[in-house]
């Protein structure tokens, strides 16, 4: 074929014909941005398998319920219970005073007015004098000795004092109380006039009984004393463990003063507040003729 025989075509004919139904679809950019890409979710920890009991609690929950957590309130409860026990064991000592021994002496008139605490125990009996001529000399006597324990409050909330005058008030449920071990201490009784002493004696402890509290057992008891008289007579008295009045006969000692020296006392058990030497009553009998 010759060059001049080459068929010629117009530009419109040279352009590739595209059928109307073959026009490519153009997808909006926004749609392509979210449909053509795959987004992976944030990383999540693998699920923990349920335990044998079927529980679905995580390890964190189980750690929160560790036995150590439960022990804290248990230990606190035990400490509180122990504190209450100690408090109950020491309260009701018939005295709120915690002072120790006081070496100063005090006359009976300085002791203050004692209360009259209630007691459920039978009053210890004071035996009558063996000598028909003997009379009570204690009512007119003045006592001096170690300073008594400070007033306190009994289990009923009543104020209680422990002056030397309690030894002559006729009530075994009151007492003259000395803090601690009174061994070696001396109590002196001064008579209004010289007399012939025929009997002496005492209740050698705190003969008071409250509900749940036996003060005779809790406090110290005097186990031995010496009675000394102006004429040189000295008599030793050994005392038993009883709330009864214990009286001994004296062979007519003539004196204006009577000294009672505490030789020994019983031991002490219990809290410090119970460490007290007590005398509930003293008997001095004789004649002034």
Residue 195 lies in a domain: yes
What is the C-alpha separation between 151 and 149, in angstroms, rounded?
A: 7
Q: What is the pLDDT of residue 121?
A: 39
Q: What is the pLDDT of residue 81?
A: 64
219: containing domain: 122-145+180-287
Return the biggest CA–CA distance within the chain: 189
Residue 35 lies in a domain: no
Residue 2 lies in a domain: no
Q: What is the pLDDT of residue 74?
A: 74
Which residues share a beta bridge with 262?
A: 225
Kindly report, residue by residue over 201-240, the tens digit of the pLDDT.
999 999 999 888 899 999 999 999 999 999 999 999 999 9
Residue 257 lies in a domain: yes
Among all chains, which residue has been given the structure tokens 């125990």? 121
**Tens digit of pLDDT per residue, the chain (289 long)?**
444 444 445 544 444 444 444 444 444 444 444 444 444 445 555 555 544 444 444 444 445 555 566 677 777 777 676 655 444 444 445 643 333 333 334 554 433 333 333 333 334 445 656 677 899 999 899 999 999 999 988 878 899 999 999 999 999 999 999 999 999 999 999 999 999 999 999 999 999 998 888 999 999 999 999 999 999 999 999 999 999 999 999 999 999 999 999 999 999 888 998 999 999 999 999 999 7
In this prediction the pTM is 0.61
Q: What is the pLDDT of residue 127?
A: 61
Please report the beta strands in the chain, taking only residues with DSSP state E, as ranges in sequence order. 105-107, 135-136, 142-146, 152-153, 159-160, 176-179, 186-203, 209-210, 213-214, 222-229, 234-238, 246-265, 276-279, 281-287
Q: Indicate the burial class of 107 (C-beta count within 10 angstroms; 0-12, 13-18, 19 or more).
A: middle
CATH of the domain at 283: 2.60.120.260
Residue 22, phi then psi, degrees to nearest 5: -105, 5
Looking at the structure of the chain, the number of domains it has is 1
Residue 168 lies in a domain: no
Q: Which two tokens stand for residue 217?
A: 């057992």
Residue 70 lies in a domain: no
Residue 210 lies in a domain: yes
Counting Cα atoms < 13 Å in the Cβ hemisphere of 203 gives 28
Residue 92 lies in a domain: no
Q: List all residues 6 or more positions away from 260 whose beta carbon is below 8 Å from its beta carbon.
A: 186, 187, 188, 189, 200, 202, 225, 226, 227, 228, 282
Q: What is the pLDDT of residue 89?
A: 45
């Amino acid at each position: 074929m010759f060059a001049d025989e080459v068929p010629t075509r117009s530009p419109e004919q040279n352009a590739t014909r595209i059928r109307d139904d073959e026009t490519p679809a153009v997808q909006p950019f926004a749609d392509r941005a979210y449909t053509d890409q795959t987004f992976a979710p944030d990383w999540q920890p693998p699920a923990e398998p349920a335990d044998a009991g079927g529980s679905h609690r995580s390890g964190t929950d189980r750690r929160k319920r560790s036995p150590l957590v439960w022990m804290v309130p248990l230990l606190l409860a035990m400490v509180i219970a122990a504190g209450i026990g100690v408090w109950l064991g020491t309260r009701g000592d018939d005295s709120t005073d915690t002072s120790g021994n006081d070496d100063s002496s005090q006359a009976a008139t300085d002791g203050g007015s004692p209360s009259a605490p209630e007691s459920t125990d039978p009053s210890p009996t004071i035996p009558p004098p063996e000598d028909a001529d003997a009379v009570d000399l204690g009512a007119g006597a003045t006592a001096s000795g170690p300073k008594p324990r400070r007033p306190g409050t009994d289990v009923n909330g009543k104020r209680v004092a422990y002056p030397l005058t309690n030894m002559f008030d006729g009530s075994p449920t009151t007492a003259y109380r000395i803090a601690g071990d009174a061994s070696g201490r001396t109590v002196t009784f001064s008579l209004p006039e010289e007399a012939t002493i025929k009997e002496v004696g005492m209740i050698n402890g705190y003969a008071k009984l409250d509900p749940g509290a036996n003060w005779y057992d809790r406090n110290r008891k005097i186990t031995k004393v010496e009675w000394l008289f102006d004429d040189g007579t000295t008599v030793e008295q050994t005392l038993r463990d009883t709330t009864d009045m214990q009286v001994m006969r004296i062979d007519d000692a003539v004196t204006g003063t009577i000294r009672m020296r505490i030789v020994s006392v019983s031991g002490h058990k219990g809290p410090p507040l119970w460490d007290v030497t007590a005398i509930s009553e003293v008997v001095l009998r004789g004649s002034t003729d």
